[in-house]
Chain A
Amino acid sequence: MILFARLIFLMLFIVALSWPLKAAEFENFETALTALPEANFKSLPELLEAIAELDDQRVSSLFTHLSKGEVYFQKSDKQVFYVVDQADGTANIVDVISGEVVQDINKNQLSKVKTTNSIRSGIAQLQAQLNLNHQDSAIRLNAAREMLADVTRISDKRLADRQTKEENSAVADILILIAALKELSKEDSAAQLAALESLDSSLEPDVRQVLVAASQDKERYSPEVQIKIKATLASIENQRNLYSYAENIFFGLSLGSVLLLAAIGLAITFGVMGVINMAHGEMMMLGAYTTYVIQQCFPNLIEYSLLIAIPAAFLVSGLVGVLIERSVIQFLKGRPLETLLATFGISLILQQLVRTVFSPLNRQVIAPEWMSGSWQINPVFSVTFNRLYIIIFSLIVFFMLLIFLKKSALGLHVRAVAQNRDMARALSIRSNWVDAATFGLGSGIAGIAGVVLSQLTNVGPNLGQAYIIDSFLVVVFGGVGNLWGTLVSAMTLGVLNKFLEPITGPVMATIIVLVGLVFFIQKRPMGLFPQKGRAVE
């Protein structure tokens, strides 16, 4: 134990020795603070610079409070405090060294450490520089990006210093922008033009703001520079539009993959079997509730809950689907409108069942850690992980289904029954069993879609209803009985919706897509990719 303490002491000693001489004016934060009450306007900047050199986490908060005029010292013992005025008129007095709230001191016993405007701007510079020299490159990046808003906070020399030291390329890129903005503020059109060159197509919002302001400023910038500013702004605008397109496409694809998941189950029951299942939405609802139940049963496994829920939801919805097929749908073969009505009745029963069991209120499904967060590609374009995973997941489900139908024995039987029931039966395929299995498969996939939906929307008894019409339209738009068509149509509708949304608002976008589809079905009743040939009639 003693040995350990000695070791630390030794290490501190070495660190202290190796510290640059200039910073060694103060040993530590505490001693530096004792100098603060005695400093005058003239000595204060120097003192602060010395403090800034200290490697202490408290420095940053001291600067923040100081620039707000919240630093006081006790007249008697020169001890330094923060005095933070509260909304209710009282003041919070905090000891600077310990960071603890002090109760027994009255504000009257304290006097303020006075600052001037120039000192405060000096503090801001120091603070930015503090972070700019931080070991953590993420903090450096943030500090640099914040500095873009006001490049006067860093001196040319310090900036140049930092630029030579900087190893992180992202930070270095921002530093170049800072340097360029500094150049731009100089009254030299050659420098300004050169600066604009490096500002070209930067996506930083601050750069754009500075340029917009500059484009108004006819005094500082010559007409020639003005033109260049306009051109730079236009190129920035282009880039931003490009990324906002990319973002729309991404959002559209993620909406499209939700539609795809919701619709492929239907593409099987409706497209392959020709059964109109109005309870399809409720199969999704069951999947979502399965997720909820699993999270309730295994509260310690939230991180894995979705992985457990996927097969569970497939089984639950699939079994309910088989049950529905055996008990109702098989008796309504060849009567599509009756099937539609009966399955609608089933959907009402399932909704009410969920209401009775789980209450009519929405249930909370927790998103696991790994689903949250996002990947910031650049200042105007980021990709949230949950959407990204959903796109990937829906494609995996789609292709697995496709392979299953193409390659497996059951898949072959399903297609055989779909094309010619009597012939398939003659070949001793048990068409009843195939029907039940197909319906179960379609319903099970709807259950999986429900797991995904539980991450995006409220899990409630009406969850399925919101998607049933959309799903039908996706299947019909893509061409009934054509899985690829379903993929294309889901993605098209998703992207279309997201591009319309900023123009018309979300509700109008939905309406426009709906009305557009109604027109489309009238023009091409067989969908985008109709099945061809004489057999169709």
Chain B
Amino acid sequence: MKNFMALFATPVQRVTGILAIVTLYVTLANGLLPPDSFLYVSDYSVTLLGKYLCYALLALSVDLVWGYCGILSLGHGAFFALGGYAMGMYLMRQIGDRGVYGNADLPDFMVFLNWDVLPWFWAGSDSFIWMVVMVVLAPGLLAYIFGVMAFRSRVSGVYLSIMTQAMTYALLLAFFRNEMGFGGNNGLTDFKDILGYSLQSGSTRLSLFIITAVVLWLAFFICNRIVNSKAGKIVMAIRDAENRSRFVGYNTASYKVALFTFSAVLAGIAGALYVPQVGIINPGEFSPINSIEMVIWVAIGGRGTLYGAIVGALVVSYAKTRFTAIMPEAWLFALGGLFVLVTLLLPKGLVGLWPTLKAKAQQLWPKTKEQAL
């Protein structure tokens, strides 16, 4: 037992262990147990969990820039949505002639708009490889350009936050337009299959869930490596004293650009994994409030810890699902209240609460500790 617990000593091990256990359980329960069993996990729940894991990945990307580099991005939803659109375009092309209009070359909404040919930026969208490239490239490039402009000219703090918000707001307006060629208001939906596997089937859904879990683990592992490397220390140094870091000889702008771009790519990947599981991507994903919700996941979980972000995303998303089912009006009250309470009372988030509680417990029952020693 003691040996088993030792497996969960560090955050990395804890996240790895819990993710592995949950994934294994869900896989077995969904695949092997009969549907009427108490322990059975339905296809619906699998997809819901998969969605939560996408959010967790997204929260991880927000924490990386906010928690470690002090860049409060209120526009990470834009990167998430761009990754999602890249995936959505691929899935749209996979529909082929099974759409309402039965046009093998053009997605339904283009037929509806009386377009004759695919716009140039849809070129190659039927290739899986190209989709993967775009999932990385589209958010990455936007973040890189935005980052270069913002960080080179030393925009920081609140100004930067508002600028990121303006960015996602502009994209929201742009993607609402039919002329943009991304399905306008309705976005991209009615997907049929991915790589030939039907998106409706339980096994595809389970596979997507497993893939998401693996990607999340991988991303967590990489992020952890980054923040513990010398580069991670530099990033924290930049967060706390950017000027000093410059005089020590670090080109702080390029560190920030690199981190921001990497974070945006993670967010894009999260979006790409999200879209096939929920079956739709529309401009609503660009709306500023979505981006802000991501920030609150991280704030509630505890920023600057990576695993706190994952905890926050899971807890808040689960709460949202429950709340909106029981009493939908109450959700915004609850979310708003969380914002206020967490910033006022829990600056370190839920995971910051844990050591405090432990210390309290040790104060109250010091004996047990001595005995254990």
A/B contact in complex, CB under 8 angstroms: yes
Asked if residues A346 and B340 are in contact (CB atoms below 8 Å), the reply is yes
Tell me which residues across on chain A come within 8 A of B170, comparing CB atoms: 510-511, 514-515, 518
Contact flag A336-B157 (CB < 8 Å), given A344-B292, A507-B177, A518-B167:
yes
Asked if residues A345 and B335 are in contact (CB atoms below 8 Å), the reply is yes
Contact flag A349-B173 (CB < 8 Å), given A469-B166, A473-B162, A473-B166:
no
Contact flag A341-B296 (CB < 8 Å), given A349-B336, A356-B329:
yes
A332 to B159, CA, bound (A): 18
- B332 on the interface (CB 8 Å rule)? yes
Nearest opposing residue in chain B for A270, CB measure = B158
Residue from B336, B337, B338, B347 with most neighbouring chain A CB atoms (10 Å): B336
Interface residues of A in 431-487 (CB under 8 A from B): 465, 469, 472-473, 476
- A532 on the interface (CB 8 Å rule)? no
- Which of A2-10, A122-130, A145-153, A520-528 interfaces with chain B? A520-528
A181 to B154, CA, bound (A): 65
Tell me which residues across on chain B come within 8 A of A276, comparing CB atoms: 158
Nearest opposing residue in chain B for A276, CB measure = B158
Asked if residues B150 and A522 are in contact (CB atoms below 8 Å), the reply is yes
- B176 on the interface (CB 8 Å rule)? yes
A336 to B162, CA, bound (A): 12
Asked if residues A352 and B332 are in contact (CB atoms below 8 Å), the reply is yes
A273 to chain B, nearest CB (A): 13
Asked if residues A351 and B332 are in contact (CB atoms below 8 Å), the reply is yes
- B47 on the interface (CB 8 Å rule)? no
A345 to B292, CA, bound (A): 10
- B221 on the interface (CB 8 Å rule)? no
B257 to chain A, nearest CB (A): 13
Asked if residues A342 and B339 are in contact (CB atoms below 8 Å), the reply is yes
Residue from A337, A345, A465, A517 with most neighbouring chain B CB atoms (10 Å): A345
- A246 on the interface (CB 8 Å rule)? no
Asked if residues A349 and B337 are in contact (CB atoms below 8 Å), the reply is yes
Nearest opposing residue in chain B for A350, CB measure = B336
A359 to chain B, nearest CB (A): 11
Asked if residues B347 and A352 are in contact (CB atoms below 8 Å), the reply is no
A348 to B165, CA, bound (A): 17
Contact flag A342-B162 (CB < 8 Å), given A349-B336, A351-B332, A522-B149:
no
- A347 on the interface (CB 8 Å rule)? yes
A271 to B155, CA, bound (A): 17
Asked if residues B176 and A507 are in contact (CB atoms below 8 Å), the reply is yes
- B174 on the interface (CB 8 Å rule)? yes
Interface residues of A in 480-526 (CB under 8 A from B): 507-508, 510-511, 514-515, 517-519, 521-523, 525
A328 to B155, CA, bound (A): 27
Tell me which residues across on chain B come within 8 A of A511, comparing CB atoms: 170, 173-174
A518 to chain B, nearest CB (A): 5
- B169 on the interface (CB 8 Å rule)? yes
Asked if residues B163 and A340 are in contact (CB atoms below 8 Å), the reply is no
Tell me which residues across on chain A come within 8 A of B344, comparing CB atoms: 328, 331-332, 342
- A338 on the interface (CB 8 Å rule)? yes
Name the prevailing secondary structure of the A interface residues.
Answer: helix
Asked if residues A522 and B332 are in contact (CB atoms below 8 Å), the reply is no
B320 to chain A, nearest CB (A): 12
The tally of residues in A whose CB lies under 8 Å from a CB in B reads 41
Asked if residues A342 and B343 are in contact (CB atoms below 8 Å), the reply is yes
A332 to B343, CA, bound (A): 8
Tell me which residues across on chain A come within 8 A of B332, comparing CB atoms: 348-349, 351-352, 355
A472 to B158, CA, bound (A): 10
| Binary contact track B318-338/A, C-beta < 8 Å → 1, others 0 | 000000000001001101111
Tell me which residues across on chain A come within 8 A of B176, comparing CB atoms: 507
Asked if residues B288 and A469 are in contact (CB atoms below 8 Å), the reply is yes
A508 to B340, CA, bound (A): 35
A476 to B158, CA, bound (A): 10
Tell me which residues across on chain A come within 8 A of B335, comparing CB atoms: 345, 348
Tell me which residues across on chain B come within 8 A of A521, comparing CB atoms: 155, 159, 163
Nearest opposing residue in chain B for A278, CB measure = B292
A521 to B159, CA, bound (A): 8
Tell me which residues across on chain B come within 8 A of A337, comparing CB atoms: 72, 157-158, 161
Q: Which of B153, B162, B339 is A476 in contact with, Cβ under 8 Å? A: B162
A136 to B163, CA, bound (A): 58
A410 to B163, CA, bound (A): 33
A82 to chain B, nearest CB (A): 47
Tell me which residues across on chain B come within 8 A of A472, comparing CB atoms: 162
Asked if residues A328 and B153 are in contact (CB atoms below 8 Å), the reply is no
| Binary contact track B159-198/A, C-beta < 8 Å → 1, others 0 | 1011101110110011011000000000000000000000
B333 to chain A, nearest CB (A): 5
Nearest opposing residue in chain A for B332, CB measure = A352
| Binary contact track B131-158/A, C-beta < 8 Å → 1, others 0 | 0000000000000000001101111011
A331 to B292, CA, bound (A): 21
- B295 on the interface (CB 8 Å rule)? yes
A344 to B174, CA, bound (A): 24
A350 to B333, CA, bound (A): 8
B299 to chain A, nearest CB (A): 6
Asked if residues B153 and A348 are in contact (CB atoms below 8 Å), the reply is no
Q: Which of A344, A515, A518 is B339 in contact with, Cβ under 8 Å? A: A344
Nearest opposing residue in chain A for B150, CB measure = A522
Tell me which residues across on chain A come within 8 A of B153, comparing CB atoms: 522-523, 525
Tell me which residues across on chain A come within 8 A of B161, comparing CB atoms: 337, 340
B356 to chain A, nearest CB (A): 19
A465 to B340, CA, bound (A): 18
Asked if residues B343 and A338 are in contact (CB atoms below 8 Å), the reply is yes
Nearest opposing residue in chain B for A524, CB measure = B153
Nearest opposing residue in chain A for B170, CB measure = A514
Tell me which residues across on chain A come within 8 A of B154, comparing CB atoms: 525
Residue numbers of A with Cβ under 8 A of B are 276, 328, 331-332, 336-342, 344-353, 355-356, 465, 469, 472-473, 476, 507-508, 510-511, 514-515, 517-519, 521-523, 525
Given contacts A514-B169, A522-B150, 9 further A-B contacts (CB under 8 A): A338-B347, A342-B340, A344-B339, A352-B336, A356-B329, A469-B165, A472-B162, A518-B166, A519-B149
10 residue pairs, one from A and one from B, having the closest CB atoms: A345-B339, A348-B336, A349-B336, A352-B332, A514-B170, A345-B336, A342-B343, A345-B340, A338-B343, A522-B153
14 contacts between A and B (CB under 8 A): A340-B72, A340-B158, A342-B343, A345-B335, A345-B340, A348-B339, A351-B332, A356-B329, A469-B166, A469-B288, A514-B170, A521-B159, A522-B149, A523-B153
Residue numbers of B with Cβ under 8 A of A are 72, 149-150, 152-155, 157-159, 161-163, 165-167, 169-170, 173-174, 176-177, 288-289, 292, 295-296, 299, 329, 332-333, 335-340, 342-344, 347
